[in-house]
Structure 1
Amino acid sequence: MRTPKYPILDDHIHIDPRNGKGIEAAKEYQRAGGTHICLVTKPSWSLGVHPTTGEDFNQVFDETLDIAKQIHDKTGLIVFPILGVHPAEITVLAERMSYSEAADIMMGGLACAAHYVAEGKAIAIKSGRPHYDTTKEITNLSNQVVSQGFRLAADIGCAIQIHAESGPCSDMVEMAKTEGLDPNKVIKHFGTPDTPLTPSLVAKHEAIPELCRQQREFTIESDYMDENSRPGAVIGPKSVPRFTMRHLEQGTITENDLYRIHMHTPNKVYGIDISL
């Protein structure tokens, strides 16, 4: 395989050997020109885990780290694990307990994730609130979970990816500051240009050229789910390198833009070294 000319990072991707293409999806990404990935934990239930305590999420985190090692060993891709608790866990857990108990377990899971980051096994944590219509109780409890995530990220000096409703999530700026966390260290997964947080834009987002002209700081993701039941969702594993190189070849972004997206912004936000 040719040595890639540019560093290419997918800021939010899932690789799931249980339910999807697994390592083959990572190989597709690499063949398209990808060099680095942020491998994000999937919901507990998708890996057959049904937590009753926060510590039960360690099973999910350990499997994510094992997948990260497999990817690196079999492809040479540089993998940065991001570990956390999917915001929809509150709805799923509440089938077996109260919403308050579910939120407590989720916060316990985030504390476990933070330990992995503190030990250098992952680069960031993940949290959020439901991106679907829900009740005021669930929203309030979910915001408590998010605040716990911000507090943990501030304590250990890491970034946090947020999975939440579409739109700016502007209230999270003050939420982060209240917990001592720089809002620039909050990455809005599946972000939009209007967010005051650091957006991670899906690779096909039409605003990428304009944001580059503004020299905005953002990252790019596929949010590839790697589930055979939903092939190619959200977009396929080749998408980040393909869209990036298409923009570069068409002149809608420059080499400097590419390096800002795939190297400099991830370094600033996560503190990770992106190099070839």
Structure 2
Amino acid sequence: MKTQKFPILDDHIHIDPRNGKGIEAIKEFKRAGGTHICLVTKPSWSLGVHPTTGDDFRGVFDETLEIAREITEDTGVVTFVLLGVHPAEITVLSERMTPEEAADIMAGGLTLAAQYVQEGRAIGLKSGRPHYEVSEKILALSNQVLTHGFTLAADESCAIQVHAETGPCEDMITMAQKAGLNPCRVIKHFASPDTPLSASIIAKQEQIPELCRQKRTFTLESDYMDENSRPGAVIGPKSVPRFTNRYLEQGHITEEDVYRIHVESPKKFYGIDITI
């Protein structure tokens, strides 16, 4: 294996030993040149948790932290953890309770996640709103939950990754500011280049070389779901290092761009140091 010249971070990846490759996916990531990941919680139901209170997300968070520990011990890949509540929870929970009750449980889960951040067990939160069509009521409740997440992030001086509809989501700038949160700390997961939020961009995005020429600040992600029923979705665990090295080898980006993507941007977004 050739010596790695620079660190490579996958800013949004899931690892699921129950339903997917588990640690083997991270070994693939490492062999391709990956060095760091942001491990993000999966929806509660994928881990067999069906919450009736916010505290029920503890099982999801503890399992995520255990996976992170195993990744670091077994592979040496540095793992940062983002804990929170997937925005689609409101749809699933509303099948067995009112939407208002579902939103309360989700807010409670975020409050619990913020406690983990306060204890230094996670670097940030995860929230958002449905990326699919929902009623005005569900959208309004989802935005209430998201605003609660922004307030918690402001209180803990941490970042929050958001999962939301395709597009700029520029209204979140004002939402964050009203909650006392620096909008730089709002990272749009699966971001489109037109977002004014901090952007985590899928590694196969064709505009990445042009964004680098513009000296844009962003990170890269795979959004790998690690589910055997959907192999390689969204893109595989090797994708971020492979695309990074391919762009570099083909002259589409420079080493300066690589450092901006994988070192400077994570430092700006999360306050974390990425080194090898």
Q: TM-score per shorter chain, which class?
A: over 0.9
Deviation by residue 1:220-248 (Cα, 9 ceiling, x = unmatched): 00000000000000000000000000000
* SS of equivalent residue, structure 1 residue 81: strand
Query: Shift of the alpha carbon at 1:3?
Result: 3.9
Which contiguous aligned blocks of 4+ residues in structure 1 show a shift greater than 4 angstroms? none
Query: Shift of the alpha carbon at 1:96?
Result: 1.0
Deviation by residue 1:47-105 (Cα, 9 ceiling, x = unmatched): 00000000000100000000000000100000000000000000000111000000000
Write the letter of the residue equivalent to 1:265: S
Write the letter of the residue equivalent to 2:108: G
Q: What is the match of residue 146 of structure 2?
A: 146
* SS of equivalent residue, structure 2 residue 161: strand
Query: Shift of the alpha carbon at 1:2?
Result: 4.6
Q: What is the match of residue 112 of structure 1?
A: 112
* SS of equivalent residue, structure 2 residue 216: coil
Query: Shift of the alpha carbon at 1:268?
Result: 1.0
Percent of aligned positions with the same letter in both sequences? 71
- For 2:90 and 2:15, the matched residues in 1 are separated by 23
Q: What is the match of residue 228 of structure 1?
A: 228
TM, length-normalised to structure 1: 0.99
Write the letter of the residue equivalent to 2:16: D
Structure 2, unaligned runs of 5 or more: none
1:1-276 alignment, distance < 5 Å: 1-276=1-276
TM, length-normalised to structure 2: 0.99
* SS of equivalent residue, structure 1 residue 38: strand
Write the letter of the residue equivalent to 1:183: P
Query: Shift of the alpha carbon at 1:4?
Result: 1.7
* SS of equivalent residue, structure 1 residue 20: coil
- For 2:117 and 2:103, the matched residues in 1 are separated by 21
Write the letter of the residue equivalent to 1:195: T
Write the letter of the residue equivalent to 1:29: F
- For 2:117 and 2:111, the matched residues in 1 are separated by 10
- For 1:183 and 1:37, the matched residues in 2 are separated by 22
Write the letter of the residue equivalent to 2:125: I
Write the letter of the residue equivalent to 1:49: V
- For 1:259 and 1:141, the matched residues in 2 are separated by 39
- For 1:120 and 1:267, the matched residues in 2 are separated by 17
Q: What's the RMSD between the two structures over aligned residues?
A: 0.6
- For 1:183 and 1:227, the matched residues in 2 are separated by 32
* SS of equivalent residue, structure 2 residue 146: helix
Write the letter of the residue equivalent to 1:205: Q
* SS of equivalent residue, structure 2 residue 83: strand
Structure 1, unaligned runs of 5 or more: none
- For 2:55 and 2:2, the matched residues in 1 are separated by 43
Query: Shift of the alpha carbon at 1:6?
Result: 1.1
- For 1:121 and 1:133, the matched residues in 2 are separated by 34
Q: How many aligned positions are there? A: 276
